[in-house]
Amino acid sequence: MCVAHEDKLTSVAYSFGVTFIAVAIPVARTDAVSRALESAQAAKLHGADLVEWRVDTLAEDSHGSSAIVRLVQESPLPCIVTVRDESEGGAFSGSDDERIAVWRAASKAVPPPAYIDVELSTYHARDSMGNSAREIARISNMEKTDAPRVILSFHDFRGRPPGLSSRVAEMWSDPGSAIAKVVWTARTARDNIEAFELLASRAKPTIALCMGEHGLMSRVLAPKFGGFLTYARADDHGTAPGQPTVEELVHNWGFRSIDQSTKVFGVIAYPVSHSRSPEIHNRWFRAANFNARLFAIAVAPSWEPFKATLAELFGYAPLDFCGVAVSMPHKENAIRFVKEFGGVIEQSAQRIGAANTIGKSADGKLFARNTDADGVVESLANAMRRAGGDGDLRGKRIAILGAGGAARAAAFGVGSRGASVVITNRTASKAKKIAEEFARALGDAPALDVKAKALSALSKERFDVIINCTSVGMDGGPAAGQNPLPAEVVLDEHVVVMDAVYAPAKTALLLHAEQCGAKCVGGWEMLIAQAAHQFEGWTGKRPLVGADPSADAAPSR
């Protein structure tokens, strides 16, 4: 890329809606320069458009300026030079004169950096810093194509900063800045919407991003809302929490094909970091040529945050939020939400009393659906056939561990196929409540043989199938690595054990069942089966499950 073209990045992005990927590479020491340049070259091959040289500590080195000049001159991509102050999450603790010297040295490099990042607080509070930045901006505004432009920035690692709108308006109105940048740590997924609103109302090229677990949506969907750029990391050492790699942005998220018409979906759970739903559905979206992305959304385990999150996501029309997969512990909240917002509760979800899918029908009305029941039945029947049976559940005695939405769906699914079901839970009253609710809610549906017992009572009986519908054993959960089944329960070659937990692929329960000779069904098969029904409900298409056998295989961990 020639220098003249590099310096037109701002006007190109602003005029044509291009959103760039800037790979942020921290360079702490002079002896790290060669390795940093190699990382930048690799990022370029993966699809990065710019490189941000984060030289916070390098700027304090006596030989730092010459090393920074080398980074700029040998950069394989147009670059941003950033010396981030400690007050805004950086590592620079030196003097104003040291930072000004770095700016001036970098600006004289041939070719110079495309941009220099200057904090808003520095720009206004310290005259020497502000004057130096304004001098860089003045030269750039004189249309000298070999002069860097100024990114005026603000960062808050603690949360949403007070006076956010006024700070951004100040950056927009300042003639010294070519780009306005605001980045803060998201407290919930709802913070992303405020970032999108800032981009939608921008008065000049703007970067608005949220950091942390809740902020990924703002990074990936920057092109949908006209963000100037998004930041990525080159390897494990990013410069802000939540940065994906360049390769993840380009290949996993399909960053280059995101536009204003991209639809957005989510999977809501707590915790949610273990979820493989984004990987599954985004792969299926690509295979079906369906312009959509699905994100993991962590929502605290109570009704109020669930309602607030979904109300804002569905309510912000420019987001095109079209549906959500709902996991533990929110499946009963899903029913309540759709009811409160005048939507339709489909029959299976109504009878189960829980939903794992919320979507929008053609008329824009919400619907709640439960695909867990079908997922349990399909994967269990398939496992029984693989073991030489016919997959028929009639007359089978099935124990279900748990008393949440997943347990309700499993009980309804297998019970509707003629199985005799025992709901068990550490708290027997919760299991009894489910059995009683089924008896009241079924109406004219065939009666289900559903009973309730305490978990400790399982040791006195034998079952054909045992299904774990609790989160016990799940990676990242409160009982990771544990087995929910009492040790006295009889397991042998005549018993099928299914675990709805899919991360890890082999839970403590399944390892124990294998040792006892039982047939095992992991949660991955169930996840794929129920996800296929979700996908069809959202898109009207069946996913291409099995088109790539390795893609639908169980995760290795």
Q: Enumerate residues 6+ apart whose C-beta is below 8 A from 487.
A: none
Going by their DSSP bridges, the two strands 496-499 and 465-468 should be labelled as parallel
Going by their DSSP bridges, the two strands 50-54 and 449-454 should be labelled as unpaired
At residue 346, φ and ψ (nearest 5 deg) are: -70, 155
CA dihedral 526, 532, 537, 539 (to 10 degrees): 160
Going by their DSSP bridges, the two strands 115-119 and 149-156 should be labelled as parallel
Six-digit token string for 369: 């659906």
At residue 261, φ and ψ (nearest 5 deg) are: -90, 0
Alpha-carbon span 520 to 538, nearest angstrom: 31
Six-digit token string for 413: 């699914």
To which H or E segment does residue 134 belong?
helix 127-141
DSSP alpha helix (H) spans, 47-112 = 64-74, 96-107
Beta bridge partners of 521: 498
Q: Which letter does DSSP use for residue 480 in this model? A: B
Q: Label residue 545 exposed, middle or buried (CB < 10 Å: 0-12, 13-18, 19+).
A: middle
Q: Enumerate residues 6+ apart whose C-beta is below 8 A from 550.
A: none
Q: Are residues 215 and 191 in contact, defined by beta-carbon separation less than 8 angstroms? A: yes
The amino acid that residue 119 corresponds to is E
Residues with catalytic roles: 155, 181, 331, 372
Q: Cis before residue 484, ω within 30 degrees of 0? A: no
164 CB-side CA count, 13 A: 18
Q: Enumerate residues 6+ apart whose C-beta is below 8 A from 515.
A: none
Beta bridge partners of 292: 263
3-state helix, strand, coil in the chain (%, to 5): 40, 20, 40
Query: What angle do the packed helices 164-173 and 191-200 form, to 10 degrees?
Result: 30
* Structure-token match 């800045």, residue found: 177
How many C-beta atoms surround the C-beta of residue 462 within 10 A? Answer: 13
* Structure-token match 């921290």, residue found: 26
How far apart, in Å, do the first and last CA atoms of the chain sit?
A: 42
Q: Are residues 424 and 399 in contact, defined by beta-carbon separation less than 8 angstroms? A: yes
158 CB-side CA count, 13 A: 4
